């Protein structure tokens, strides 16, 4: 992503870009990486990608357990992260967002 941002900024400024130009190209950039789709949020410059969890399975192909492709669960990052512009909170903004907006479980 950094290489892509530098190349894009280079084309815009016609030479080696300064730090601010590179940052501007990274803000809002999305990239389909080998580890999954990554997005750089413009509001906080953090890289976000969906969470992946699931079950492992032992196969004859490896001497260790591997992720069972039939039982993979993808959790969209937008479902577990405070949206851009949400008021800052303690201990984290996402914790505050979850506490204030998610339904409460009852026994």
pTM of the model: 0.70
pLDDT computed for residue 78 by the predictor: 86
* Cα–Cα distances in angstroms (integers) from residue 73 to residues 27, 29, 52, in the given order: 28, 25, 6
E strand or H helix that includes residue 72:
strand 66-75
Token readout for 1 is 């992503």
pLDDT digits (tens, 9 = 90+) for 19-73: 999 999 999 999 898 888 899 999 889 999 999 899 999 999 999 999 999 999 9
CB 41 within 8 A of CB 23: no
């Amino acid at each position: 992503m950094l290489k892509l941002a530098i190349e894009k900024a280079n084309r815009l400024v016609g030479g080696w870009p300064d730090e601010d130009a590179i940052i501007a190209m990274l803000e809002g950039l999305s990239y389909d990486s080998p580890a999954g789709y990554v997005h750089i949020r413009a509001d906080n410059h953090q890289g976000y990608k969906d969470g992946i969890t699931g079950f492992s399975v032992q196969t004859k192909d490896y001497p260790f357990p591997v992720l069972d492709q039939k039982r993979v669960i993808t959790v969209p990052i937008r479902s577990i992260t405070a949206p851009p512009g949400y008021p800052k909170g303690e201990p984290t903004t996402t914790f505050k967002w979850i506490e204030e907006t998610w339904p409460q479980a009852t026994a």
